[in-house]
Amino acid sequence: MLRLSDVTHGYGPARSRTMVLDRVSLSMSSGEMWALTGSSGSGKSTLLNLIGLLDRAQEGEIELAGQRVSGLDAYEAAKVRNRLIGFVFQSFHLLPRLTAWENVALPLVHRAVGRRERRDAAMAQLERVGLADRIHHRPDELSGGQRQRVAIARALITQPRLLLADEPTGNLDSESGGRVMELLRDINLRNGVSILMVTHDENLAGTCDHRVVMRDGRIVSSVER
């Protein structure tokens, strides 16, 4: 599903560049759930952004579903991202003026899907994450856990093959975080969606199929459960 070979990335001019990732390589099979851990500044979020094609690696190769994507231009990268990848963020990124179903349906707007079809698809995803009774609620009318479930429904509406989650339980209490984690695992097992999750939570990392530990821009440990 995902293969990285000697991915290197930094910021600033070449002579004084600050290296964030240094020759990172990994290979993740379809249907697996991985945890990416490490201290702040170790390169986890940068790596997730490169895999998600939100940024372009300066060196090395990235393959998604057998396709080399590290050299794509912005337009082609956007097409691959919309077709293969879903995102879940710590801060939800829901639009405050839109209802739950409207937030979930947003990715389908970019696919020129009609309003009725978007609404039906969004309602199906909200039912899937246990929020069928919250479709007309706006984000400020939902709890943190409910907002994250809306965000997960939005990530799933394009039927991605890879879900990238950056601290998906970071802003939640332990009970809500546990429910979100159960939902992610259920999506992984029932639908075969590959999940790569950045987390500081040792307990959550321990439930994943594979755990990768990063330090100073390098992978220092990669352990299968």
- Residue 119 makes CB contacts below 8 A (sequence gap 6+) with 101, 105
Computed over its alpha carbons, how large is the radius of gyration of the chain?
17
The pLDDT-based confidence of 111 (bands split at 50, 70, 90) is: confident
Whole-number percent of the chain with pLDDT over 90: 63
Domain edges within the chain: 30-58+73-224
- The C-alpha atoms of residue 6 and residue 20 are separated, in whole angstroms, by 13
Give the pLDDT confidence of 18-76 residue by residue, as tens digits.
889 999 999 999 999 999 999 888 999 999 999 999 999 889 999 999 889 988 888 89
Q: What tens digit of pLDDT does each residue of 131-175 get?
A: 999 999 999 999 999 999 999 999 999 999 999 999 888 888 888
Phi and psi for 154 in degrees, rounded to 5? -65, -40
Mean pLDDT of the chain: 91
CB atoms within 10 A of CB 123: 18
**pLDDT greater than 80 at residue 14:** no
Work out the end-to-end distance of the chain between its first and last CA atoms, rounded to an integer number of angstroms: 19
Closest CA to 88 of 45, 148, 132: 148
Predicted confidence at residue 71, as pLDDT, reads 84
Q: What is the pTM of this model?
A: 0.91
Which of 3.40.50.300, 3.40.50.1100, 3.40.50.2000, 1.10.1500.10 would CATH assign to domain 30-58+73-224? 3.40.50.300
The span from the CA of 87 to the CA of 152, in Å, is 8
Interhelix angle for 144-156 vs 174-191, to 10°?
A: 20
Specify the 3-state DSSP secondary structure of 139. helix
pLDDT score of 178 more than 80: yes
* C-alpha triplet 112, 70, 219: angle, nearest 5°: 120
